[in-house]
Amino acid sequence: MGTRLPRIVVGGIALLLLAGCAIDPMARATRPDRETTERVAEIALEMRGQPYRWGGDAPGGFDCSGLVQYAYAQAGLDVPRTSDQQYDAIRQLYVHQLAPGDVVFFRTSSAVTATHVGIYVGDNRFVHALNPEHPVHEARLDKRYWEQRLIAAGSLMH
């Protein structure tokens, strides 16, 4: 005769095992609070007027993905450096689900992947570093140019 565990113990163990499978411990451990995500948007807004510089990732010169990486780093979050890597890292959302601090991706050329990224700051607006003729500035998602080129939106905070 073997040792038998009472049914309640077996049931409790089974529930714990199932609960462990249903919860992503990394998502729970790395999901920043709303204050942190809003800080990302605030930092992006503070960078308005900074010049564009290809490969730039600090005040004095930003490219689009450098601005994203900088704003997240200043808020204490580590994200990939390039727009392709950032695109691959997002949890996709619909535009109406975006919160300040989320990111939006665009195809601004004939390239197959995302060629541009910005930080959503609320009210259908995003901040981005576009090109040498434009310093870091705010734009609207509902502007026809951006509406036609939007290919993804999502959260880097999951």
- Known catalytic residues are 64, 116, 128
d(C-alpha 11, C-alpha 107), whole Å? 52
SS3 label, residue 26: helix
Paired strand residues for 122: 125
Count the Cβ atoms, other than its own, within 10 Å of residue 109. 9
Among all chains, which residue has been given the structure tokens 């695109």? 87
> Using an 8 Å Cβ cutoff, are 135 and 73 in contact?
no
Task: Copy the structure tokens of residue 33.
Answer: 């609070």
